Copies of this chain bind each other. A is one copy, B any other.
Amino acid sequence: MGVGDVSKRILLGRKLRSSQLGETLLSKRIALPVFASDALSSVAYAPDEVFIMLSIAGVSAYAFSWKIGIAVAVVMLTVVASYRQNVHAYPSGGGDYEVATVNLGRKAGLTVGSALLVDYVLTVAVSVSSGVQNISSALSFMQGHETEYAVGLVVVLAAMNLRGVRESGAFFAVPTYGFMLGVLGMAAYGAIRAFTGDLPQAESADLRLAPDPSYAGNLSQIALIVLLARAFSSGCAALTGVEAISNGVPAFRKPKSKNAASTLLLLGAIAITMLLSMIILAREMGLKYVDPADIERLTRADGSALPAGYDQPTVIAQVSKAIFDGFPPGFYFLVAMTGIILILAANTAFNGFPVLGSILARDGFMPRALASRGDRLAYSNGILILAGFAVVLIVAFQAEPTRLIQLYIVGVFVSFNLSQLGMIRHWTRHLKTEKDASERRRMVRSRVINTFGLAMTSVVFVIILVTKFLAGAWIAILAMVAFFILMTRIRGHYDKVSEELVAGDEDQLLPTRVHALVLVSKLHKPTMRALAFAKATRPNVLEGIFVDTDPETTDALLKEWDKRNLDVPLKVLYSPYREIIRPIVMYATSIRESNPRGVVAVYIPEYVVGHWWEQLLHNQTALRLKGRLLFSPGVMVISVPYQLRSSEAALERRVDELERVRAGDVRRGRTRRR
């Protein structure tokens, strides 16, 4: 295949493929599952956390469980109402980061950015851990090895995302609708059995639950309030993921904001229904659930200890197993869907994290090269960093969702709060200029909603902070501070550089002359091409330069040079110690010294090869020479590539690379590229 063919194929291939690129916008029917996995999956672990917290005061405290469920539902509805305002006001998909930055300034935006980065890491850790915990309720061979399986899953997810996941509507729709169907079906069936007086008991109903020693006996009013606050803040884990839609408005069909807002409302309603049904059913069925670390508080009815290594099935597993006692496939279906939707939630973090990174990079808070969204480098690095942090957390907390959740929601509420505060500012600012009365009324109403939302979320934030700080939230806060400082430093560096680089009028002065040097090692095709290219630019002076490390080679080259009638003088540089780089740099520098207004152009013939090991065998000296010449002012370095035959394979690989599908494309409204 000739060189012309290759380049034509690239061009045509490209053109075809480009025309296939395009947007497919999401209908509400598809948008719901695409954005719901995050928010709904948290229903799988939130009830467990509520029961664990209440169990501290013994089984009597379970009477409060549905009240806590209601409280969480109220907060959820408030947050949903608030975010419906965001979706209308910021349809560009920037989410909380954009809202905070625009309305509250750079620091607030960066705080939200840091909180979200930490949040993505925790989403992966918590979702995968909870997924493994649920699946192990059905597959008993996994019990006791949760950490290993969770780490393995993170690695698989990272590998899949590095490789490129082919997402589609169905990819999200099947498990999400499956999960909804499973949970709501179970709730309905459970309700029927309850009405007919046929509601079975959960497998832990016969167990005896001892309160935590410090909570034994009659509880003081304050101790009870503290306990309920802790249970409530754990239950708020159900709120994570609600904000996802506000990042995805551009992917909706028109009217985008309206469709996004109604999807959000629907999502909130479903999540609340699921959460409440789970809590009420579990309570009615006599379920007992304690922190796995305190498993000894759970004993047989006769007071004897449970067998060593006893693993509590999750709330969802216990409830569904009992309700579907005459229909095991129902249980297995629900456990499978729970596991899958949790892993799907982790997967969405894998595409959210690099996207957030690219937005932060565009604003100069991350290396600027990460700013182009479709970029593979940004993607790969983001995926690896996310997976690395998640694995560290999973190992440190032994894949126990209960312990990881202590770190989780503080970040979510940081962004909830700043986002609401930003929205209030937004409406206030717009109200200053808006004249139209009905428009003003709508804005005032929105501001009221956001104000109420802020009041609610800030109270919850304080509760979370107080109840979870020592239990682990401090780690998340520390990580946010670290991200914040790092990103501030990066931005500071860019600002400093950009100040240094402001162009003045003197920068428009033209160099007076160009002195071109063509690096010669042998007289082969690459050198000939470099000479031809250099000649074509018609410099004021053109010389070949050759470093003499061995007299025989030099003589042979000089003879061939003459024979070929190249019409270019060849300068031989003497190098007693066989150094190549130093004599060339010195020569180029000295030319520039003697003519400070001129430019030295160094032409370096480069081999373009197809394999990494060929790269080791070629171009190394050229590369280092270039690295060194860049430090000399007034010298420019021209790489004249010569494509070896083996480079064709590499070119194919690179073209494929550019065409590859990336995770999260669906959420951003992109179709497949082939």
Q: Give me the interface of A with B, judged by CB distance under 8 Å.
A: 3-4, 6-8, 10-11, 14, 21, 358, 367-369, 371-375, 377, 490, 493-494, 497-498, 500-503, 507-514, 522-529, 532-533, 535-539, 549, 564, 566, 576-582, 586, 589-590, 592-593, 596, 599, 601, 606-608, 614, 616-618, 620-621, 624, 626, 628-633, 635-645, 647, 650-651, 654, 658, 670
The answer on a CB contact under 8 Å between B620 and A630 is: no
A351 to chain B, nearest CB (A): 15
A634 to chain B, nearest CB (A): 8
Cα distance A613–B643 in the bound complex, in angstroms: 32
The answer on a CB contact under 8 Å between A630 and B614 is: no
The answer on a CB contact under 8 Å between A367 and B620 is: yes
Cα distance A65–B8 in the bound complex, in angstroms: 79
- With A498-B522, A501-B525, A537-B538 already in contact, 9 other A-B pairs whose C-beta atoms are closer than 8 Å: A368-B618, A368-B621, A372-B580, A375-B580, A497-B607, A502-B525, A503-B527, A629-B641, A631-B654
Cα distance A654–B654 in the bound complex, in angstroms: 33
A-B contact pairs, 9 of them (CB 8 A): A6-B633, A369-B621, A372-B580, A372-B621, A500-B644, A500-B645, A503-B528, A509-B532, A533-B599
Chain B residue contacts of A371, Cβ below 8 A: 578
Cα distance A373–B606 in the bound complex, in angstroms: 22
Chain B residue contacts of A493, Cβ below 8 A: 614, 617
The answer on a CB contact under 8 Å between A577 and B638 is: no
A96 to chain B, nearest CB (A): 20
The answer on a CB contact under 8 Å between A524 and B498 is: yes
Residue among A6, A509, A577, A651 with max Cβ neighbours from chain B (10 Å): A577
The answer on a CB contact under 8 Å between A637 and B641 is: yes
Cα distance A538–B651 in the bound complex, in angstroms: 31
The answer on a CB contact under 8 Å between A373 and B501 is: no
A564 to chain B, nearest CB (A): 7
Cα distance A577–B661 in the bound complex, in angstroms: 13
Cα distance A500–B522 in the bound complex, in angstroms: 13
Chain B residue contacts of A538, Cβ below 8 A: 537-538
The answer on a CB contact under 8 Å between B607 and A374 is: no
The answer on a CB contact under 8 Å between B536 and A596 is: no
Cα distance A141–B502 in the bound complex, in angstroms: 65
Chain B residue contacts of A633, Cβ below 8 A: 3, 6-7, 641, 643
Chain B residue contacts of A522, Cβ below 8 A: 498, 501
A622 to chain B, nearest CB (A): 9
Cα distance A372–B584 in the bound complex, in angstroms: 14
Q: Which of B14, B596, B640 interacts with A586 by CB under 8 Å?
A: B14
Across the interface, name the chain B residue whose C-beta is closest to A8: B593
Cα distance A566–B511 in the bound complex, in angstroms: 15
The answer on a CB contact under 8 Å between B372 and A579 is: yes
Cα distance A511–B536 in the bound complex, in angstroms: 6
Across the interface, name the chain B residue whose C-beta is closest to A668: B577
The answer on a CB contact under 8 Å between B11 and A590 is: yes
Chain B residue contacts of A578, Cβ below 8 A: 358, 371-374
Cα distance A580–B368 in the bound complex, in angstroms: 12
Chain B residue contacts of A576, Cβ below 8 A: 21
Chain B residue contacts of A537, Cβ below 8 A: 514, 537-539, 601
Q: A580-B372, A618-B368 are in contact. Are A630 and B644 (CB under 8 A)?
A: no
The answer on a CB contact under 8 Å between A7 and B589 is: yes
Chain B residue contacts of A375, Cβ below 8 A: 579-580
The answer on a CB contact under 8 Å between B631 and A636 is: no
Q: Which of B368, B377, B529, B535 interacts with A507 by CB under 8 Å?
A: B529
Across the interface, name the chain B residue whose C-beta is closest to A508: B528
The answer on a CB contact under 8 Å between B617 and A490 is: yes
Q: Which 8 residue pairs are nearest across A and B when measured between Cβ atoms?
A: A369-B620, A507-B528, A501-B524, A630-B641, A511-B536, A3-B633, A501-B525, A638-B638
Cα distance A500–B638 in the bound complex, in angstroms: 23
The answer on a CB contact under 8 Å between B636 and A654 is: no
The answer on a CB contact under 8 Å between B628 and A654 is: yes
Q: Which of B8, B373, B651 interacts with A577 by CB under 8 Å?
A: B373
Chain B residue contacts of A580, Cβ below 8 A: 372, 375
A411 to chain B, nearest CB (A): 26
Chain B residue contacts of A586, Cβ below 8 A: 11, 14
A19 to chain B, nearest CB (A): 12
Across the interface, name the chain B residue whose C-beta is closest to A636: B640
A640 to chain B, nearest CB (A): 5
Cα distance A87–B644 in the bound complex, in angstroms: 43
Q: A514-B537, A577-B374 are in contact. Are A617 and B368 (CB under 8 A)?
A: yes
Residue among A371, A617, A640 with max Cβ neighbours from chain B (10 Å): A617
Across the interface, name the chain B residue whose C-beta is closest to A493: B617
Cα distance A512–B536 in the bound complex, in angstroms: 7
Q: A564-B508, A592-B7, A641-B637 are in contact. Are A631 and B617 (CB under 8 A)?
A: no
The answer on a CB contact under 8 Å between B524 and A536 is: no
